[in-house]
Amino acid sequence: MPLNETVLGRMVGEIVLSRHPNYREGQIVHGMLGWQEYAISDGGTNIENYGPGITVVDPDLAPISTALGIMGMPGATAYFAVTNIANPKPGEIVLVSSAAGAVGSTIGQIVKVYGCRVYGLAGSQEKVDFLTSQLGFDGALNYRASRDLATDIGRLCPDGIDIYFDLVGGEMRHAVLEHLRPFARIPLVGFISQVNDRPPSLPDPTRVLMAKRVRMEGLIVYDHVGRMDEFRSQMSHWIKTGKVRPVETIVEGFERLPRAFIEMLQGKNVGKYLVRV
């Protein structure tokens, strides 16, 4: 992100003036338009590479705010991590890290639709309660209160883990490894615990991965843009039939943007953290 330029970020908004034949005033669109109240788009549709394009948001599919969350990039990340990499089967045991966040809360709800047992790791007791009482998780653990994460994960999932959705990386992944069942899968979705630090020196996981025939595979949501229509229609159906619900934390005011971003990194959000301008 270059200095002194508009901060990158996704927006949902209304077209107030159009000189493009494909767009008209009043339409709701979504794009990587930055932290600003008004933005100019070239009307292109390639929004995935941080370009100035936009896509039209269909308000009949779900509320428009969800185009930034469950119906947008975080929801698509969850959907493709489940359907492309994890391939869950009914009865399998799933553990989700950052489980109360935008991607994690969606993953947990989707794998429930597949008939899995789902457990979550999250950073507060409130989040743990939310996951188990509101989102249908079978159990959850406040990892910030744990002194021995590997032992506590073993208590949370005494029968082992078939799929670990890794949104966090670092020591949390290592604490999970010993509880994996043979032929487990690990969709590698993120490494938020390591973004500001040098990677901690951790034991080499190769032995466990090989001995248990674990498949670990990276996910980049933009590889799957060709399946976005399928994703949106499936997610809209799940929302409308009550199988999956959007989780959002919304605060008001343009000036709240920097604080909201920092709070997201500190774990103050539940679900997608949005700022209404």
Ligand X SMILES: NC(=O)c1ccc[n+]([C@@H]2O[C@H](COP(=O)([O-])OP(=O)(O)OC[C@H]3O[C@@H](n4cnc5c(N)ncnc54)[C@H](OP(=O)(O)O)[C@@H]3O)[C@@H](O)[C@H]2O)c1
Among 41, 109, 193, 236, the residue binding ligand X under the rule CB under 6 A is 193
Among 8, 220, 250, 262, the residue binding ligand X under the rule CB under 6 A is 220
Here the tokens at position 210 are 């090989």
| 247 binding ligand X? (CB under 6 A) | no
| 221 binding ligand X? (CB under 6 A) | yes
Give the range of 110-118, 198-206, 214-222, 233-241 binding ligand X by CB under 6 A: 214-222
| 189 binding ligand X? (CB under 6 A) | yes
Query: Could you give the CA distance from residue 166 to residue 44 in angstroms, rounded to a whole number?
Result: 33
| 100 binding ligand X? (CB under 6 A) | yes
Least CB distance to ligand X at residue 105 (A):
8
| 122 binding ligand X? (CB under 6 A) | yes
Among 104, 163, 165, 235, the residue binding ligand X under the rule CB under 6 A is 104
Q: Is 56 left (phi over 0), alpha (psi -120 to 50) or beta?
A: beta
Q: Is the dihedral of CA 247, 253, 254, 255 positive or negative?
A: negative
Query: Using H for helix, E for strand and C for coil, what is the string for 15-47?
Result: CCCCCCCCCCCCCEEEECCCCCCCCCCCCCCCC
Query: Could you give the CA distance from residue 36 to residue 209 in angstroms, rounded to a whole number?
Result: 45
Closest to 91 measured CA to CA, from 200, 13, 221, 181: 181
Contact residues toward ligand X (CB under 6 A) are 73-74, 77, 98, 100-104, 122-124, 127, 167-168, 172, 189-190, 192-193, 219-221, 264-265, 267, 269
